[in-house]
Amino acid sequence: MITILYHYANIQESFEICKCVYIYNGMLKLNNIYETLLLTEKDNRRVIVNKLGVDQQVADAAHAISDKFSIWITNTAKENLDDGETPLEFLNNEREHLVKLVKLFKTPNKPKMEGKWSLKNLDYDGTPHLLNVMGYITDWAENPNTPSVDLTQYTWADAEQAAIEWHDSLKGGKVDNLDDGSKIIHKFPDGYYWTLTESDYCDKSKQSMGHCASATESDMYLLHLRKNNEEFITADWHPEYKYVIQLKGKNNDKPVAKYHKYILWLLLDSGMVNKLKTNSGYMPETNFQLSDLSLEEIKLVNDKANHLITTHMVDDLVLGADDPASMIEMLGNVGSRYIDGVDSIEGISRALYRSKNPENMFKMLMRTTDYGFEFLDEFGKFEMNNMVNGADNPDGIMAIIMKNERLRSRYEGEPAMAGESIKQRLRSELL
């Protein structure tokens, strides 16, 4: 029998300083009380307030997400705040993700939570990848055609490798009676059509596509683009909230460009999709993304359904564009929300350097004066030097600088900070 001794009687008042002593068969083992609390206590709100230094609202929010893991949740919130963000805002913003993590923690059949995957060492920034990998592993382990798998005997690396080998073994092509169990929702004149399977799994789809044919979430359905008993695109779709997470081609690759027009019908004309979450799920880089579209197609999405374009997607669209300024201007209000966002400063900086027309980008920034100053204050003169010196028309950018008193004064006040070509232009302008 295991006997547990504490330096203090009240575990909730002393968990940070006391150690838990396990006496088993005459042997003593010391263990951090935090781990014990995490696994045994059900209501830790008083501990959270008294020992973690947060208010009752934060404790209540963490407890509402999970009573068992509320201390870990609160510590995670405190350690991962963005600038100006409060723990309560973090918990509200990250609630959906934290709920998914707690569900994973409570899953009995999972790889060993040890090493970097233990709660003690878990890096919160890496948890989206952890969830994605678990989904990929689950596709293999819980597939109806897979023999029973005890994941507790696997490390994460070994389980992921086994899942990769299983996915790679799947083959695609034509399948007899492919549409059994699904219903056609739209036909195109060239013979392609979309079908709907009202289930989170489709064996026929797996055979034709060479992937697991499983939805990300158990309450999602599957959509299929097909023709002549062969499938070419699979999407998972939530029938109530109308969002899509996975949108993939054969063998979990990106859909090829010739199928974009059929995807656009789904996004713009079907009335079935209110939100794209294709930046999540396993291997989101192999999902269809709006940034895969041509400029004309992106403009069509912006004109007909700009609610699909989130700030995250705008970042991808801007950074992937040959002319980021034209992309932002084309996006109109969506682009304005992006350029006004504090989180977009670094993205705009990268876009400037990658742009084929940086002076056009800079002019647009300076038309939004406050943002232009914020950009300059954040990234300083060295970045400005790089942009000016790398531009096809550096004189055009210098003309903008010299016409703006605030910008000009920064270089006049500290001329040593300016690049050589800027110094020459400053001397020329000031003579």
- pLDDT score recorded for residue 264: 97
DSSP H or E segment with residue 245: strand 243-248
Tokens 């090829």: give the residue. Answer: 256
Q: Are 328 and 364 in contact (CB under 8 A)?
A: yes
Burial string for 303-333 (b: 16+ CB within 10 Å, else e) reads eebeebbbeebbbbbbbbbebbbbbbebbee
Rounded to the nearest 10 degrees, what angle do helices 45-52 and 56-65 cross at?
A: 130
More confident residue, 421 or 58: 58
Angle at 365 between CA 360 and CA 369, to 5 degrees: 140
pLDDT at 67 over 60: yes
pLDDT at 7 over 70: no
Q: Are 228 and 234 in contact (CB under 8 A)?
A: no
Confidence of residue 290 (pLDDT cuts 50, 70, 90): very high
Q: Is 97 exposed, middle or buried (0-12, 13-18, 19+ CB in 10 A)?
A: middle
Angle at 31 between CA 26 and CA 34, to 5 degrees: 145
- pTM to 2 decimal places: 0.61
Measured between its terminal Cα atoms, the distance across the chain in Å is 90
Q: Which of 159-173, 266-280, 331-345: highest mean pLDDT?
A: 266-280
> Where do the domains of the chain lie?
107-169, 172-301, 309-431
The 3-5 sheet, strands edge to edge: 3-5, 19-24, 27-32
DSSP string, 391-431: SS-HHHHHHHHHH-HHHHHHHHH-GGGS-HHHHHHHHHHH-
Task: Round to whole Å and give the CA distance between 299 and 330.
Answer: 7
Task: Round to whole Å and give the CA distance between 112 and 129.
Answer: 16
pLDDT at 45 over 50: yes
pLDDT at 225 over 60: yes
CA dihedral 55, 57, 60, 62 (to 10 degrees): -80
Instruction: Identify which of 241, 223, 215 has the alpha carbon closest to the alpha carbon of residue 96.
Output: 241
pLDDT at 419 over 60: no
- pLDDT score recorded for residue 84: 83
Task: Round to whole Å and give the CA distance between 215 and 57.
Answer: 35
Instruction: Identify which of 163, 77, 156, 74 has the alpha carbon closest to the alpha carbon of residue 117.
Output: 156
% pLDDT > 70, the chain: 66
DSSP H or E segment with residue 232: strand 230-237
Average pLDDT over the chain reads 76
DSSP H or E segment with residue 194: strand 193-197
% pLDDT > 90, the chain: 34
Q: What is the pLDDT of residues 380-404, one digit of tens each?
A: 555 556 555 555 566 666 666 666 6
Q: Are 100 and 127 in contact (CB under 8 A)?
A: no
Q: Are 308 and 272 in contact (CB under 8 A)?
A: no
Rounded to the nearest 10 degrees, what angle do helices 295-305 and 324-331 cross at?
A: 20
pLDDT at 129 over 90: no
For residue 204, the tally of other CB atoms under 10 A from its CB is 21
Tell me, what amino acid is at 176? D
Q: What would the mean pLDDT of 28-53 be, rounded to a whole number?
A: 64
pLDDT at 143 over 60: yes
pLDDT at 377 over 60: no
Q: What is the pLDDT of residues 156-187, one digit of tens each?
A: 989 989 988 887 777 778 888 888 889 999 99
For residue 50, the tally of other CB atoms under 10 A from its CB is 13
